[in-house]
Structure formats: C-alpha cells, structure tokens
Amino acid sequence: MKIKKGDMVKVRAGKDKGKQGKVIQVFPRLGKVVVEGVNINKKHLRPQRQGEAGQIIEFAAPLAVSKVQLVCSQCGKVTRVGFTFDDNNKKVRICRKCKASL
C-alpha cells in the first residue's frame, strides 16, 4: 500500500468527494484507510446502568484506499506515488509531479 499513516489525502469518490484530511489509521490487508473528518458515522449506544442516559457517538469509518489520492506536501497537488533509491540505496517515495520526496 502506497499511502501511509500521517499522509494528507484527498477523497476522489463518494459522499465526501473533494474533502482533504490526514490519514489516522491504515488497514493494508483490507485495503482501507481512516481519514480525519471524512466518512463520519453515528453509533447509538444504549445506557449501561439504570438511570444513565444513552449516547450518540460520531466516529470516522474506514474508507477504501482506491477512493483517496495522496496530496504532495511540496507542490500541494494531488499526485500518484513513485519510488526511487536515495544515496544510501534506501527506497524512498516521491511525488510523480514535482519529483520531491514524500
């Protein structure tokens, strides 16, 4: 998976199309990511004890990784991820548009 935790991404499809956010969590085996402030769902919780009130909790649900695209931190454009090797023969992610390392 080319998107990692902490990356800025833009949603390309779905109800939150056009929104940007930071990746909070990544699920590589499922091919899903959780993005801050995107795909917000509500969960209704019953009261646990007598006399307590129920609650409605809002949380960010996982989103398919195919619906998001990386935003370059250098040029600010939506881009694909490329790979290259640096001076120490370490594999590094780069922006396909401005060739800056991510």
Average pLDDT rounded to a whole number, residues 9-19: 95
Distance CA 43, CA 33 (A): 19
Are both 82 and 59 inside the same structural domain? no
Question: What is the pLDDT averaged over residues 68-84?
Answer: 93
Tell me the per-residue pLDDT of 32-66, one tens digit each, with 9 for 90 and over.
Answer: 999 999 999 999 999 999 989 999 999 999 999 99
52/98 same-domain check:
no
In angstroms, rounded to a whole number, what is the distance separating the alpha carbons of residues 40 and 54? 19
Is 90 exceeded by the pLDDT of residue 1? Answer: no
CB distance 66 to 31 below 8 Å: yes
Domain that holds residue 100: 72-102
Same domain, residue pair 11 and 59: yes
Q: How many helices (H) and strands (E) does the chain have?
A: 0, 10
- How high does pLDDT run on average in the chain? 94
Q: Check if the beta carbon of residue 55 is closer than 8 Å to that of residue 35.
A: no
Residues 12 and 53 in one domain: yes
Is residue 29 predicted with pLDDT exceeding 90? Answer: yes
pTM (2 decimals)? 0.83
